[in-house]
Amino acid sequence: MASVTVDDVRDVINLSSNDIPDAKVLKMIKRAEVTLELELGKEIDYNGCSDAEKAGMQRIVEQSPCREVLRVSDVLSGLGFNLQFLSSPKYVEERLGRLAAEELASLREVFAENAHPRFMKEFKGCRHVAYARKVDYVRGVRDADMLKMAKLIKIVGVLLQTKVYLFWRNPNF
């Protein structure tokens, strides 16, 4: 029997222990285990899987953050935001509260200029339509309250994460 370790996963996705903590990798392993159990209809144990199951993971694609998100993150960094804490509502609200009016205006402007589809879905005129109009989005950003701005910043934090998609091929098929 083999065991899938955090180092095995880091090797597959080409990251070091400095890039991603053990706890987060272990969480990924456990989620993959549950997903495989549901898909295959059989119990999987990452601590005691077959060598074939362990070796069957293949890296399919790695998705890096897009240009719009990187531009917004550059401005956030320049305004003193720590990009690793963007998913923390308390941190983001506290940082937004310390921004001067001109800094908040520049943040609104960078969001308006970089209309990522995920940002656009946060505004009333852009939801539930196949192709949202940028004017509705820009109006929404300019009129957004602090809670809406905090939500947009949280989305930046999620979109900054590099997504790695793995595929496991069942050797029995």
pLDDT at 90 over 80: yes
Q: Look at residue 142 in the predicted model and tell me its pLDDT.
A: 94
Q: Which amino acid is at 6?
A: V
The pair of structure tokens assigned to 53 is 């199951």
136-160: pLDDT as tens digits:
889 999 999 999 999 999 999 999 9
- Residue 71 vs residue 130, higher pLDDT: 71
Mean pLDDT of the chain: 84
Rounded distance between C-alpha atoms, residue 78 and residue 82, angstroms: 10
Q: Is the pLDDT of residue 1 over 60?
A: no
pLDDT at 125 over 60: yes
For the chain, give every domain's residue range.
6-55, 67-159
Closest CA to 144 of 116, 111, 114: 111
Query: 3-state DSSP call for residue 106?
Result: helix
Q: Give the range among 31-35, 64-68, 97-101, 109-113 with minimum mean pLDDT.
A: 31-35
Neighbours of 116 (CB within 10 A): 20
Is 131 in a helix, a strand, or coil?
Answer: coil
- The reported pTM is 0.64
| Tens digit of each residue's pLDDT (9 = 90 or more) over 54-85 | 666 666 777 889 999 999 999 999 999 999 99
